[in-house]
Amino acid sequence: MRIVVTGASGRVGSTVAAQLVERGHAVIGLDRVAPTEPIPGVEHIVTDLTELAPRDPRLADAEAVAHLGAFMSWNDADAEAVYEANVTGTFALVRALTGSAVRRFVLASTGEVYPENAPQYQPLDEQHPRLPRTWYGLSKVLAEETVAFAGRTLDWSTVVLRFSHTQHPAELLDPTSFFSGPRFFAKARFAKEDAAGNAFVADQLRGFADDEADTVIVATRADGTPTTMGIMAAPDLARGVVLALEGDTSGHEVVGLGPDSSTDLGSFAARLADAAGLPTTTLILPDTAPSYTTSNAQARELLGFRPEYDEAHMIEAAVAARRERAEAARA
């Protein structure tokens, strides 16, 4: 197939594009920025989705789409940018593909549509009400509805994939990572919580404001219960997207794409630190700190999805990546 991948320069999009090329597909990669490492076999088009023309001739022979490009932010100041990228961008992409050879459209959505940090029941599944509490979550609800509408009116088979939290294993032990820095490292977490005015957490970490030892946080809630969430390795997530693109579902399907089980973040952080030889510090979170579980039963049944990365595999890959970064820095 000739497949359009939006967000093709990002960590998930580039992984999806590479897997598709390996499986013999022709790929058109759309992104606002050029890839740092172009993938052989991928035709890259640098463009903002909102600037695509209706019935764009460059996409006329596309047969399927993986719409992965998005702007992710929980900052209220970014509300307009989030809406423009995720809602207007999805609308413009559908209009650009109208009249093309497309028959299958896969949208990357998120558990923020529920949202995961305020579940009405657990494990969260596709039937959970969509009651977003952030502009990002709302933008994804509207993108989902846009894609469902396109499927009905353009006779496309459409699949919405609601991603669990995703990380590339190489990011897990990188203090500068967008996600892993403030999740696992005391210095980055202090900066984030202090800037947000969350004194309860920031005061516990103030002594790490200038930490150079890459101290890892081992967090638990004040009531002694763990904080849990699904963490999906980017290669596994990419395989799920490829399965959705190559699948034979018809009509409109919504699929939660996540790991087989949720991760106890405190225990996982302790194991990461031990494997990498890093110091740790205990962090007590409020009883209200998010903790949730998700179901991937639909993904297993409809797509044949089976995650390959368990926690041990992710830790092994994270330690290897940290070692490679250290060796490169010394070279």
> Tell me: the pLDDT tens digits for 129-160?
999 999 999 999 999 999 999 999 999 999 99
Helix (H/G/I), strand (E/B), else coil: 63: coil
The secondary structure of 64-85 as a DSSP string is EEEE--------GGGHHHHHII
Ranges of CATH 3.90.25.60 domains, the chain: 169-228+262-292+309-330
Ranges of CATH 3.40.50.720 domains, the chain: 2-163
Per-residue model confidence as pLDDT tens digits over 95-138: 999 999 999 999 999 999 999 999 999 999 999 999 999 999 99
Per-residue model confidence as pLDDT tens digits over 173-222: 999 988 888 889 999 999 999 998 999 999 999 999 999 999 999 999 99
Give me 41's structure tokens. 């076999």
- Answer yes or no: is pLDDT of 279 > 90: yes
**Can you give the pTM of this predicted structure?**
0.93
Name the burial class of residue 196, with classes exposed (0-12), middle (13-18) and buried (19+) by CB atoms within 10 angstroms of its CB: exposed
| Class (C level, CATH) for 169-228+262-292+309-330 | alpha beta
H helix runs in 169-233, sequence order: 180-184, 186-196, 199-205
In the prediction, which pLDDT does 54 show?
97
Neighbours of 195 (CB within 10 A): 9
- Answer yes or no: is pLDDT of 90 > 90: yes
**% of the chain with per-residue pLDDT over 90:** 91
Give Cα separations from 140 to 47, 59, 108, 146, 250 (angstroms).
21, 23, 9, 10, 22
Helix (H/G/I), strand (E/B), else coil: 105: strand
**Angstrom distance (rounded) from CA 126 to CA 278:** 39
In the prediction, which pLDDT does 329 show?
87
Taking each helix axis as running N to C, give the angle between helix 11-22 and helix 234-246, from 0 to 180 degrees, rounded to the nearest 10: 50
- Split at pLDDT 50, 70, 90, the class of 11 is confident
- Stronger pLDDT, 319 or 178, i.e. the higher one: 319
| Class (C level, CATH) for 2-163 | alpha beta
Give me 169's structure tokens. 């294993």
Question: For residues 235, 236, 237 and 241, what is the CA-based torsion angle, rounded to 10 degrees?
Answer: 100
